[in-house]
């Protein structure tokens, strides 16, 4: 897995710093953090400090008020990291009582899962025996999902095969949304058509999820009227999804098909198509996707970045009301 090089920059007076992190931002205010390094005046020791500041937008300038900034020393940074690791996740998921699971306990839990026993069976037995509490199982799930989101965010920035994403979504079905109860073991619609996932929806009916790669180009254009339209690849993916829906409806009365899908009811199946990225889209492209989706009654197209944002919001890792801003003054 390729690593991204991180550079240390210098201010005009020689103070070293790394790229600031935008902790949160909106149209009129923002919060940033930056690590910087300088020499202690008396000892000459290199000291790393962390500055956190809240800025306010005045005209086109971002202004930091002195009473809205704080600088932490190394020992204070260590304490802050320790505090966040211990308390943030349990509080964020609403727990009122919790204990830490050490590394050995986590390994044991993984080995038990590898036995082929379902998560529900493992959790039920451990709760019955008093080894686990409901709060602890929630904490483990939250930690696993946080790790999954980090893996997802990294993977969409590098080149991955379609099979990688099919496997990833199989292990992290929750990212696709709460509309789906489970992934069915059967993928064959008929002898010629094999979907990525046949899903049982929350209302008990059969739906389809089709996964394409995030690096595929989404829009062609704009045309002479300023309108964006799907690329040939996206159009082909849409046609594939619509064909799956048509084939499923043809098979809906087939006894053999009903056996393959474990008796899941088939009435007007829906399809989610995961395709491409939207991290650099402006309002015009977002509007074009809204219009494109409105043209289909049984198909919904969603980008990887939209899935990522939804997963982050579900875990409390993102504020849906925040708008991103660019900053030119480094450090602040």
Read off the CATH number of the domain in which 173 is found.
Answer: 3.40.1350
Looking at the fold, whether 86 and 143 belong to one and the same domain comes out as: yes
Looking at the fold, whether 63 and 114 belong to one and the same domain comes out as: no
CA gap 78, 212 in Å, rounded? 42
Backbone phi, then psi, for 36, in 5-degree steps? -140, 160
Residue 198 forms beta bridges with which residues? 208
pTM score over 0.85? no
Instruction: Report percent pLDDT > 70 for the chain.
Output: 76
Mean pLDDT of 241-245: 94
Instruction: Report percent pLDDT > 90 for the chain.
Output: 23
Q: And the tokens for 240? A: 């594939």
Closest of 128, 129, 143, 131 to residue 95, by C-alpha:
143
pLDDT at residue 193, rounded to an integer:
85
Residue predicted with more confidence, 230 or 75: 230
Mean pLDDT of 208-219: 94
Q: How confident is the model at residue 131 (pLDDT cuts 50, 70, 90)?
A: low
Best-predicted range by mean pLDDT (79-88, 227-236, 248-257): 227-236
pLDDT at residue 30, rounded to an integer:
81
Backbone phi, then psi, for 70, in 5-degree steps? -140, 140
Tell me, yes or no, whether 321 lies in a domain. no
Tell me, yes or no, whether 305 lies in a domain. yes
Looking at the fold, whether 188 and 105 belong to one and the same domain comes out as: no
Looking at the fold, whether 133 and 248 belong to one and the same domain comes out as: no
CA gap 89, 272 in Å, rounded? 31
Q: How many domains does the chain have?
A: 3
Tell me, yes or no, whether 159 lies in a domain. no
Looking at the fold, whether 139 and 115 belong to one and the same domain comes out as: yes
pLDDT at residue 330, rounded to an integer:
36
For the chain, the residue count is 332
Domain that holds residue 30: 9-72
- CA 286 to centroid of chain Cα atoms: 19
Looking at the fold, whether 189 and 302 belong to one and the same domain comes out as: yes
Cis upstream peptide for 263 (omega within 30°) = no
Residue predicted with more confidence, 179 or 168: 168
* Long-range contact pairs involving 239-242 (C-beta distance under 8 Å, separation at least 24): 240/210, 241/208, 241/210, 241/271, 241/273, 241/299, 242/271, 242/296, 242/298, 242/299
| Alpha carbon distances (Å) from 16 to 6, 36, 62, 129 | 13, 6, 21, 54
Where among 102, 130, 153 does a domain terminate? 153
Tell me, yes or no, whether 270 lies in a domain. yes
Residue predicted with more confidence, 40 or 296: 296
| Alpha carbon distances (Å) from 53 to 20, 73, 120 | 11, 15, 44
Closest of 327, 329, 328 to residue 30, by C-alpha:
327
Where among 127, 153, 179 does a domain terminate? 153
pLDDT at 118 over 50: yes
Looking at the fold, whether 116 and 232 belong to one and the same domain comes out as: no
Looking at the fold, whether 188 and 297 belong to one and the same domain comes out as: yes
Looking at the fold, whether 170 and 287 belong to one and the same domain comes out as: yes
pLDDT at residue 273, rounded to an integer:
96
Residue predicted with more confidence, 69 or 305: 305
pLDDT at 240 over 90: yes
Residue by residue, DSSP assigns 220-256 as: E---TTS--EE-HHHHHHHHHHHHHHHHHHHHTT-HH
CA gap 69, 124 in Å, rounded? 48
Where among 55, 72, 89 does a domain terminate? 72
Closest of 292, 280, 275 to residue 227, by C-alpha:
292
Tell me, yes or no, whether 296 lies in a domain. yes
Dihedral sign of CA atoms 188, 189, 192, 195 in order: negative
pLDDT at 168 over 80: yes
Dihedral sign of CA atoms 235, 237, 239, 242 in order: negative
* CB contact at 8 A, 207 and 270: yes
Looking at the fold, whether 173 and 146 belong to one and the same domain comes out as: no
Looking at the fold, whether 211 and 295 belong to one and the same domain comes out as: yes
pLDDT at 324 over 50: no
Mean pLDDT, the chain, rounded, equals 79
Ramachandran category for residue 162: left, alpha or beta (phi over 0 → left; psi -120 to 50 → alpha): alpha
Looking at the fold, whether 16 and 86 belong to one and the same domain comes out as: no
Residue by residue, DSSP assigns 64-76 as: EEEEEEEEE-HHH
| pLDDT 10s digits, 174-199 | 898 878 888 888 888 887 888 888 99
Least confident residue range of 7-16, 71-80, 107-116: 107-116
Closest of 139, 243, 153 to residue 195, by C-alpha:
243
pLDDT at residue 278, rounded to an integer:
93
């Amino acid at each position: 897995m390729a690593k991204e090089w991180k550079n240390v920059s210098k201010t005009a007076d020689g103070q070293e710093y790394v790229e600031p992190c935008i902790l949160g931002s909106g149209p009129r205010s923002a919060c940033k953090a930056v690590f910087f390094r300088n020499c202690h005046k008396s000892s000459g020791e290199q000291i790393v400090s962390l500055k956190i500041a809240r800025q306010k937008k005045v005209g086109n300038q971002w202004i930091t008020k002195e009473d809205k900034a704080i600088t932490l020393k190394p020992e204070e940074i260590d304490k802050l990291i320790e505090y966040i690791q211990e308390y943030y996740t349990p509080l964020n998921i609403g727990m009122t009582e919790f204990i830490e699971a050490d590394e050995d306990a986590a390994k044991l839990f993984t080995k038990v899962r590898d036995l082929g026993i379902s998560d529900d069976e493992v959790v039920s037995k451990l709760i019955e025996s008093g080894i686990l509490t409901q709060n602890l199982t929630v904490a483990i799930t939250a930690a696993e999902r946080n790790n999954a989101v980090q893996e997802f965010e990294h993977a969409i920035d590098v080149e991955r095969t379609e099979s990688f994403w099919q496997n990833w979504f199989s292990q992290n079905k929750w990212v696709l949304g709460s509309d789906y109860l489970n992934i069915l073991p059967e993928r064959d619609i008929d002898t010629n058509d094999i979907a990525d996932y046949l899903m049982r929806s929350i209302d008990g009916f059969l739906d389809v999820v089709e996964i394409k790669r995030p690096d595929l180009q989404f829009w062609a254009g704009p045309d002479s009227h300023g309108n964006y339209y799907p690329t040939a690849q996206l159009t082909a993916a849409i046609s594939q999804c619509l064909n799956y829906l048509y084939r499923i409806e043809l098979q809906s009365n087939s006894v053999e098909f009903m056996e393959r899908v474990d008796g899941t009811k088939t009435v007007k199946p829906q399809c989610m198509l995961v395709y491409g990225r939207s991290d650099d889209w402006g309002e015009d492209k977002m509007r074009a996707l809204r219009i494109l989706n409105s043209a289909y009654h049984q198909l919904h197209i969603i980008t990887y970045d939209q899935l990522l944002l939804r997963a982050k919001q579900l875990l409390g890792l993102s504020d849906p009301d925040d708008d991103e801003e660019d900053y030119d003054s480094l450090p602040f």
